[in-house]
Amino acid sequence: MAGPQDSPWWLAVATEQAAAFRQAAQAADPELPVPSCPGWRFRELVLHTARFLQIVGGQLRTGGADRARPVPEPATISDPLDFFDQQLDDCLRLLAACPPNSPLWTFSPAAPSLAWFWHRRVAHELNLRRWDAQATLRCLVPTKRALAVDGIDEVLGTLLASRYTAASSPAATGAVLVSCTDGPERWLVWLQPGEAPEVVRDPADLPAAKATTAGRATALYHGLWGRIELPMAEGCPVLLSGVQAH
């Protein structure tokens, strides 16, 4: 189970993925469209990633269980990559200085209000944006399996609960089984309108699921983020869409 003991790993992943993202961004034409992010060019991809880091940095700097005030977006940014470098350095420094069990606001009702949530979130956001950048340039390095498994767990175990609010709830009722074919990991996700998803990791009993998806951990991870089709997906399409992060 993910927790504060994983923070050093997440920080190392964040540093590694940021370096790979920057290398791809530096090599790309800023006007090059990014197919995995419709409507974005590389410029928007870099700015979005930098802005994400800026917002996380603001929350870390504020500290405590209250949500930080919105960080104003700069009126003009002449060099998106330089802006990214500034925000990355600031965010990684703050993350490294923040004990993983420090009280800190988080946006998911399924996540503890502790700093390690952000250690994990930054690692996966940078990995996802690295994937977007490398896939565009056709120099894609596969996500490592351990990171993919952790990413599946983050999507299903914490991020889905933030997706479903009183104004936006699952459009169907039923269980979805998400299974790795290259390892023993499984997640049973129960969706029901008006409620946060109920997620069981590696369930001992498997009730009949109305939808299933199975594949290698990396394929499931990127499928849940909508970067590729969910592998070996069968059953109710509404429920399958309901377990994706976007």
User: Secondary structure of 173-190 in the HEC alphabet?
Assistant: CEEEEEEECCCCCEEEEE
Give the structural domain span for 236: 165-242
Confirm whether 152 is domain-assigned: no
Do 132 and 219 share a domain, yes or no?
A: no
* Gap between the Cα atoms of 52 and 73, Å rounded: 11
For residue 30, the model assigns a pLDDT of 96
Q: Mark residue 202 as left, alpha or beta (left: phi above 0; alpha: psi -120 to 50; beta: remaining).
A: left
Inform me whether the pLDDT recorded for 167 exceeds 70: no
Do 202 and 116 share a domain, yes or no?
A: no
**Mean pLDDT in residue range 81-96:** 97
**Mean pLDDT in residue range 90-96:** 97
Domain boundary (137, 156, 176) is at 137
Token output for 180 = 């790795």
For residue 152, the model assigns a pLDDT of 98
Percentage of the chain beyond pLDDT 90 is 82
Q: Checking DSSP bridges between strand 174-180 and strand 211-215, what pairing results, if any?
A: parallel
Q: What is the pTM of this model?
A: 0.95
**Mean pLDDT in residue range 2-7:** 85
For residue 139, the model assigns a pLDDT of 97
Do 112 and 173 share a domain, yes or no?
A: no
For residue 72, the model assigns a pLDDT of 81
**Mean pLDDT in residue range 163-192:** 88
DSSP state of 183: S
**Mean pLDDT in residue range 221-245:** 96
Q: Indicate the average pLDDT of the chain.
A: 94
Reported in sequence order, the residue ranges of 59-173 that DSSP labels E, i.e. its strands, are none
Q: Checking DSSP bridges between strand 186-191 and strand 174-180, what pairing results, if any?
A: antiparallel
Confirm whether 147 is domain-assigned: no
* Gap between the Cα atoms of 189 and 220, Å rounded: 14
Token output for 38 = 């419709």
For residue 165, the model assigns a pLDDT of 67
**49 or 206, which is more confident?**
49
**Mean pLDDT in residue range 42-61:** 96
For residue 113, the model assigns a pLDDT of 94
Q: Checking DSSP bridges between strand 198-201 and strand 211-215, what pairing results, if any?
A: unpaired
